[in-house]
Amino acid sequence: MTAFDDWRARSPFYDETHEALAASVRRFVAKEIAPHIDRWEAEGELPRELHRKAAEAGILGLRYPEAYGGHSEGFDIFHGLVVTEELAAVGAGGLGASLMTHGIGLPPILALGSEELKQRVAPPVLAGDKIIALGITEAGGGSDVANLSTTAVRDGDVYFVNGGKMFITSGMRADWLTCAVRTGGAGAGGISLLLIDMTAPGVSRTRLDKMGWRCSDTAAIHFDNVRVPAANLIGTENGGFMGIVRNFNGERLGMAMGCCAYARVAMAEAADWAQQRQTFGKPLVGHQSIRIKLADMERQIEATQAWVDLCAWQVREGRDRPADFAMLKVQATRMLEHVAREAAQVLGGASYITGSKVERIYREVRVNSIGGGSEEIMLDLAGRQLFGGAR
């Protein structure tokens, strides 16, 4: 163990239960993921069986209610951060994004859905038998969620859905889609959430190729007069926007934690390379300029992790505010971008050849800066909440 990889042991937020969980997830990653991740990256998706194995290992259901097949007793928000950290060890961001896609697709149902809907959907998802995704983003809207255009028109006990969604994580493999639709007038007040069966007639999907997150299948989804039972309405009609918004803080905190985790993976690979690589008669780390790079990478990771942990504590204590999560996401993504760049500089030409974790992480920097709300929108959101100003 080196000075930079024992951060949990030096934190007041983590104890022996978090370390025990970390060890368990680490064993799962070493056995079930690490030997196959390069192949899954090449194939462009994860096997469905991995979801079942992750459920059996207690990963999918962590911090979800026991009534629906999860296990929440004795687990806090920091246990969730531990899982994010350990899944990052293979250096493939698409793994966490796709394997844990229920983390954004299921919460609106558990928070707002009917008991029948919860019982129908949550147990098979948490058992790894079904995959659920979240459908918010549209080709013409991006982060402008309040102006989405996919429509759902009610006729008796069904809705007819028309339109499309873009950049949907797990969109090719998803059995269900928690989908934002327009059921009312313009703006946030006309949005509802529907659970759409992805095998329903009229649903079509197109696989999207990507620069990074390659083992995570991503889709453009089109709806052509798709019939959705009214019983699949999540919450109230025209009350879906708040169901979307309540997801944002958790998603941004998770992304920030992921940035810290992948930055540590990149730094570890760079540090190992610097200790092994000989240049001008001494190890690379023997050069002052390289030590400065590594120390500055560590400085930025530690500072960002401290903010992640503070925001997680604020959530646990009910003291959180949206502006903090918006700014944290920008801090974390910019930190990862810097660390990935500097790690690549340390590795030199080796970082440009497929096979290193740094090469893969470097390609995945941009998705973190864009997904879950772009830097510009995050900073404007924080500015409006903290300092006022016109919307």
Active site residues: 251
- Which residue, among 93, 12, 22, 87, has the nearest Cα to 305 in the 3D structure? 12
CB-based contact 183:237 (threshold 8 Å): yes
Within 13 A of 87's CA, how many CA atoms are on the CB side? Answer: 24
- Which residue, among 178, 216, 191, has the nearest Cα to 44 in the 3D structure? 216
330 vs 264: CA distance, rounded Å: 17
Q: What are phi and psi of 148, to 5 degrees?
A: -65, 155
Packing angle of the helix pair 16-28, 77-87 (nearest 10 deg): 30
DSSP secondary structure letters along 51-87:
HHHHHHTTSTTBTS-GGGT-B-TT--HHHHHHHHHHH
Alpha-helical runs (H) found in 115-231:
115-126
296 vs 286: CA distance, rounded Å: 16
Torsion of CA 42, 48, 49, 52, to 10 degrees: 130
Torsion of CA 315, 316, 319, 325, to 10 degrees: -20
Q: What are phi and psi of 257, to 5 degrees?
A: -65, -40
**Phi-psi group of 318: left, alpha or beta (phi > 0 → left; psi -120 to 50 → alpha; rest → beta):** left
Helix (H) or strand (E) holding 290: helix 288-317
346 vs 293: CA distance, rounded Å: 8
Q: What are phi and psi of 303, to 5 degrees?
A: -65, -40
